[in-house]
């Protein structure tokens, strides 16, 4: 196949940031995606529907010339109350609530330490059918970083799912075989987003032959067997797995540092990467459901009317993206990919 036309995809896990970065992140994403679930982990997290509506307007202003539609989320803090859940349930702008165990990743200090204290809110979310989006890693610093996802499943996620079997959960950016198996074992209520980096890279790509700060993200890249299990899930045709890039820009100097930030910027070439993975698995016919339908089904959204075209033609990923005097280094910067997005 040398050309593929599919419904314009949705990125169901995206960091757009704020200030100067917002403009660049939006520009790359709107070419590839019609809509995106926008993460709320700004420096001051988005904790109310009111704040989410303001952030929505900021994003819409930047995208004045496009039809890009941001799908907003709230950041789950200890102060989240039942009234706010009802507001979310009535809101057409906010589509879910993101729970970060406190301190587990970038800008997550205001997250949750004792998940059991959230059970009364989970109960109401279940009743109101508000999706719970979870960064599924343990924040127990004594747990080995490569085991934090598995430990989170055992200590928290399986309990949450058993206690609230109808709660609609997205297990974000899964990185292990255990996470794939867990999702498969639930009754369709637990779904997962899959990033390009967790299908294309493993921990050798991060740590062998020199440390690669631009491959550092959380959950951290795992073993090759995990990577293969995630690919298998993505191309399986199961509607419980859908696209979420977790594209998360950080300035170059913040990544190339003695204490570098976690987050990989893939928005500039996301669909090219997913296409190459699905092609290698002989599963290009499954790409549209994974990218443009299963996520929409989960969030109860109509399918997009617009289409995108991908052509089998070499494409060089930009070496960097200039933001004023600063820069962002995208995933696979300067490398040649075999697919490219084209005008339709």
Hey, which residues are catalytic here?
Answer: 246
CA distances from 187 to 34, 46, 166, 224, 327 (A): 29, 30, 9, 27, 44
Please, which residue, 103 or 165, has the CB nearer to ligand NCD? 103
Cβ burial, residue 61 (10 Å; 0-12/13-18/19+): exposed
Q: How far is the CB of 234 from Zn ion (least distance, A)?
A: 17
Please, which residue, 168 or 250, has the CB nearer to Zn ion? 250
Please, which residue, 35 or 215, has the CB nearer to ligand NCD? 215
> Binding partner of residue 263 among Zn ion, ligand NCD, none, CB under 5 to 8 Å per kind?
ligand NCD
Q: How far is the CB of 100 from ligand NCD (least distance, A)?
A: 8
Q: How far is the CB of 196 from ligand NCD (least distance, A)?
A: 12
Contact 24, 321 (CB under 8 A): yes
> Binding partner of residue 9 among Zn ion, ligand NCD, none, CB under 5 to 8 Å per kind?
none
Q: How far is the CB of 37 from ligand NCD (least distance, A)?
A: 11
3-state secondary structure the chain: CCEEEEECCEEEEECCCCHHHHHHHHHHHHHHCCEEEECCCCCCCCCCHHHHHHHHHHHHHHCCCCCCEEEEEEECCCCCCHHHHHHHHHCCCEEEEEECECCCCCCCCCCECCHHHHHHHHHHHHHHCCCEEECCCCCCCCCCHHHHHHHHHHHHHHHHHHHCCCCCEEECCCCCHHHHHHHHCCCCCEEEEECCHHHHCCHHHHHCCCCCHHHCCCCCCCCHHHHHHHHHHHCCCCCCEEECCCECCCCHHHHCCCCCCCCECCHHHHHHHHHHHHHHCCCHHHHHHHHHHHHHHHCCCCCCCCEEEEECCCEECCCCEEECCEEECCCCCCCEECCEEECC
Please, which residue, 84 or 172, has the CB nearer to ligand NCD? 172
Nearest residue to Zn ion, scored by beta-carbon proximity = 246
> Binding partner of residue 207 among ligand NCD, Zn ion, none, CB under 5 to 8 Å per kind?
none
Q: How far is the CB of 108 from Zn ion (least distance, A)?
A: 10
Positions that interact with ligand NCD (CB under 6 A): 15, 41, 105-107, 135, 217-218, 246, 248, 262-263
Please, which residue, 30 or 246, has the CB nearer to Zn ion? 246
20-79: contacts with Zn ion (CB under 5 A): none
Q: Which tokens hold the place of 134? A: 């979870």
| Count of residues interacting with Zn ion (CB under 5 A) | 1
Q: How far is the CB of 35 from ligand NCD (least distance, A)?
A: 18
> Binding partner of residue 135 among Zn ion, ligand NCD, none, CB under 5 to 8 Å per kind?
ligand NCD
213-242: contacts with Zn ion (CB under 5 A): none
Between CA 247 and CA 159 the distance in angstroms is 29
Q: How far is the CB of 202 from ligand NCD (least distance, A)?
A: 16
**Is 11 among the residues that bind Zn ion (CB under 5 A)?**
no
Instruction: Return the closest-CA partner of residue 101 out of 151, 168, 146, 162.
Output: 151
> Binding partner of residue 280 among Zn ion, ligand NCD, none, CB under 5 to 8 Å per kind?
none
Nearest residue to ligand NCD, scored by beta-carbon proximity = 263
**Which x/- pattern, by CB under 5 A, does the window 237-266 give for Zn ion?**
---------x--------------------
Please, which residue, 228 or 262, has the CB nearer to ligand NCD? 262
Please, which residue, 30 or 246, has the CB nearer to ligand NCD? 246
Q: Which residues bind Zn ion (CB under 5 A)?
A: 246
């Amino acid at each position: 196949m040398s050309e593929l036309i599919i419904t314009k995809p949705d990125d169901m896990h995206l960091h757009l940031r704020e200030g100067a970065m917002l403009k660049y992140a939006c520009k790359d994403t709107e070419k590839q995606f019609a809509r995106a679930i926008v993460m709320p982990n700004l420096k001051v997290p988005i904790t109310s529907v009111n704040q989410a509506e303001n952030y929505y307007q900021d994003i819409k202003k930047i995208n004045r010339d496009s039809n890009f539609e941001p799908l907003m989320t709230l950041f789950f803090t200890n102060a989240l109350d039942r009234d706010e859940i009802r507001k979310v349930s009535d809101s057409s702008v906010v589509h879910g609530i993101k729970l970060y165990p406190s301190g587990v990743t970038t800008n997550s200090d205001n997250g949750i330490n004792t998940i059991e204290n959230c059970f009364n809110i989970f109960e109401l979310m279940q009743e109101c059918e508000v999706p719970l989006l979870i960064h599924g890693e343990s924040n127990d610093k004594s747990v080995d970083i490569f085991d934090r996802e598995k430990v989170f499943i055992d200590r928290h996620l399986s309990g949450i799912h058993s206690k609230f079997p109808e709660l609609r959960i997205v297990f974000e950016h899964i990185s292990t075989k255990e996470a794939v198996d867990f999702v498969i074992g639930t009754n369709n209520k637990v779904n997962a987003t899959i990033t390009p980096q967790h299908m294309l890279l493993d921990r050798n790509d991060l740590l062998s032959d020199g440390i690669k700060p631009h491959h550092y993200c959380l959950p951290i890249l795992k073993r090759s067997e995990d990577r293969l299990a995630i690919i298998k899930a993505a191309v399986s045709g199961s509607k419980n797995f859908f696209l979420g890039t977790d594209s998360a820009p950080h300035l170059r100097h913040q990544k190339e540092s003695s204490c570098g930030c976690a987050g990989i910027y893939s928005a500039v070439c996301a669909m090219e990467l997913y296409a190459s993975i699905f092609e290698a698995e002989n599963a290009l016919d499954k790409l549209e459901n994974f990218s443009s339908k299963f996520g929409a089904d989960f969030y109860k959204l109509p399918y997009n009317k617009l289409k995108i075209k991908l052509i089998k033609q070499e494409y060089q990923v930009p070496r960097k993206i200039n933001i004023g005097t600063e820069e962002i280094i995208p995933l696979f910067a300067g490398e040649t990919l075999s697919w490219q997005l084209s005008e339709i």
